[in-house]
Amino acid sequence: MKIAVLKEQATGENRVAATPETVKKFIALGATLAVEAGAGEAASFADADYAAAGATLGSRAETLTGADIILAVSSPDPASIGGAAPGAWLAASLNPFADPARIQGYADAGVEALAMEFMPRITRAQSMDILSSQSNLAGYKAVLDAAAEYGRAFPMMMTAAGTVSAARVFVMGVGVAGLQAIATARRLGAQVSATDVRSATKEQIMSLGAKPIFVENVKGIEGEGAGGYAGEMSPEYQAAQAELVSGHIAKQDIVITTALIPGRPAPRLISAAQVASMRPGSVIVDLAVEAGGNVEGAVAGEVVTVNGVKIVGHRNVAGRLAADASALFSRNLFNFLSAFWDKEAGKPVLDEEIGDAIRLTKDGKIVNARLLG
Ligand code: NAD
């Protein structure tokens, strides 16, 4: 059982899909590990540390030759993974809805592509969930990015020269990233409020010492879709939410938006008029910018200034903490493969519940129900 660890090729992708720690653990299971030279460099993991953990280092072609499992962070170009064993698994974040041609490319290449972001949200798969591990870091980093762009302090400070008031931070979307953003902003001393479409988040917001901002008594607000994710809201709800948020947002110094709906463009939460209502020097961080953006005017990969308000649209925010993001991503992959490791077969064998959920391609075809519609 040969496991290949690729060096990421996408611009700005600094993460790596295995660390020396997980290499060692895979070897303990009986696997052989081949790591593409330089794979961990951008995340501060040296080739020498992989070698010390027992991996062989080599070119991409050497790494891939005869591989049974390919590990990557971002979806590799299907043309760049030739040489693996027929039917080899590719386990990575494959962004399945974004690029159907790429998924077809994996089918054509005879690879069994496993989309880690399709991991079902069930208790036994929590430790395998890359969306949670990466969102957690992104929520934290979003607040630090906001603080770095903000020309004022976060905590209230009483000084001999006068008082500095606490920053007002509003978090929109209270999933994994939003909860971590609330906690981080609170730790920095901000006055924090938050909103979501799932009413279950109200208590979570209060338990972190923040103020919930919620639309009440409007049809279509339940908001809980399949698997704990948000569903799409009714037009009535959207209108009521926009009005409530408009009043609140004009008084905020920092807004962090994290709202996503799987398989659809991110919901638009902040209009240009709402951006214009904020005072100059305010900062908005749009964590959904790569999914179409929650904020009108946000640009992926840029920090833009509109009427003195900075809109931060960094891509791959978890990847901006490449070492920790890689460590957690790698453990998610290890937890996944080791949970299914069949000692006799000397390889992982997936069960139906998880296999069917994450498998995109098999035997030259796209097989995933969510992609086939
Ligand atoms: P997500 O990244 O899909 O979305 C972020 C948040 O945006 C969600 O809370 C969502 O409700 C919210 N949102 C969507 N549309 C919105 C709108 N129009 N206005 C305001 N907010 C909006 O969410 P997530 O971080 O993946 O978490 C979703 C839920 O799944 C959470 O309850 C989380 O605890 C749960 N979860 C469970 C598991 C598990 O059991 N294995 C793993 C991870 C997350």
What angle do helix axes 20-29 and 322-339 make, rounded to 10 degrees?
Answer: 10
129 alpha carbon to ligand 1 midpoint, in Å? 13
Distance in angstroms (rounded) separating the CA atoms of residues 71 and 26 = 12
Q: Is 225 helix (H, G, I), strand (E, B) or coil?
A: coil
For residues 91 and 37, state if they share a domain. Answer: yes
* Of residues 321, 319, 283, 322, the one with CA closest to residue 303: 283
**Residue 240 near ligand 1, beta carbon < 6 Å:** no
Cα–Cα distances in angstroms (integers) from residue 28 to residues 2, 4, 51, 68, in the given order: 13, 16, 15, 17
Which pLDDT belongs to residue 226? 57
* Of residues 308, 320, 358, the one with CA closest to residue 113: 358
For residues 53 and 146, state if they share a domain. Answer: no
For residues 167 and 209, state if they share a domain. Answer: yes
Judge contact between 287 and 142, C-beta under 8 A: yes
- When mean pLDDT is compared across 27-41, 134-148, 259-273, 287-301, the lowest value belongs to 259-273
For residues 94 and 168, state if they share a domain. Answer: no
Q: Is residue 112 part of a domain?
A: yes
Given 129, 145, 253, 286, the catalytic residue: 129
Q: Is residue 344 part of a domain?
A: yes
24 alpha carbon to ligand 1 midpoint, in Å? 33
**Residue 134 near ligand 1, beta carbon < 6 Å:** no
Band of pLDDT at residue 228, cut at 50, 70 and 90: low
CATH number at residue 95: 3.40.50.720
* Partners of 2 in beta bridges: 32
**Residue 131 near ligand 1, beta carbon < 6 Å:** yes
**Which ligand 1 atom sits closest to the C-alpha of 224?**
11
**Residue 175 near ligand 1, beta carbon < 6 Å:** yes
pLDDT digits (tens, 9 = 90+) for 87-113: 999 999 999 998 899 999 999 999 999
What is the layout of strands, in order, in the sheet containing 309-312? 211-212, 191-195, 168-172, 254-257, 283-286, 309-312, 303-306
Query: What residue spans of 256-373 are helical by DSSP H?
Result: 272-277, 322-339, 352-358, 369-372
C-alpha angle 179/180/183, rounded to 5°? 90
123 alpha carbon to ligand 1 midpoint, in Å? 16
Which pLDDT belongs to residue 283? 98
Which pLDDT belongs to residue 221? 53
Q: Is residue 361 part of a domain?
A: no
Given 74, 75, 93, 132, the catalytic residue: 132
For residues 268 and 341, state if they share a domain. Answer: no
Band of pLDDT at residue 297, cut at 50, 70 and 90: very high
- List of residues 6+ apart from 342 with CB closer than 8 A: 348, 349
- List of residues 6+ apart from 198 with CB closer than 8 A: 174, 222, 223, 224, 230
243 has pLDDT over 90: no
Residue 101 is part of which domain span?
2-118+322-351
Q: Is 350 helix (H, G, I), strand (E, B) or coil?
A: coil
pLDDT digits (tens, 9 = 90+) for 307-342: 999 999 999 999 999 999 999 999 999 999 999 999
Mean pLDDT (whole number) for 30-39: 98
HSE of 250 in the Cβ direction (CA atoms, 13 Å)?
9
For residues 308 and 172, state if they share a domain. Answer: yes
Q: Catalytic site residue 132?
A: yes
368 alpha carbon to ligand 1 midpoint, in Å? 22
For residues 106 and 204, state if they share a domain. Answer: no
For residues 71 and 142, state if they share a domain. Answer: no
Distance in angstroms (rounded) separating the CA atoms of residues 368 and 354 = 12
* Of residues 82, 84, 60, the one with CA closest to residue 8: 60
Q: Which of 315, 335, 359 is the last residue of a domain?
A: 315
- Alpha carbon nearest to ligand 1 atom 15, residue: 259
pTM (2 d.p.): 0.93
For residues 95 and 200, state if they share a domain. Answer: no
Q: Is 312 helix (H, G, I), strand (E, B) or coil?
A: strand
For residues 218 and 160, state if they share a domain. Answer: yes
Domain count for the chain? 2
For residues 112 and 158, state if they share a domain. Answer: no
- Alpha carbon nearest to ligand 1 atom 11, residue: 230
Band of pLDDT at residue 231, cut at 50, 70 and 90: low
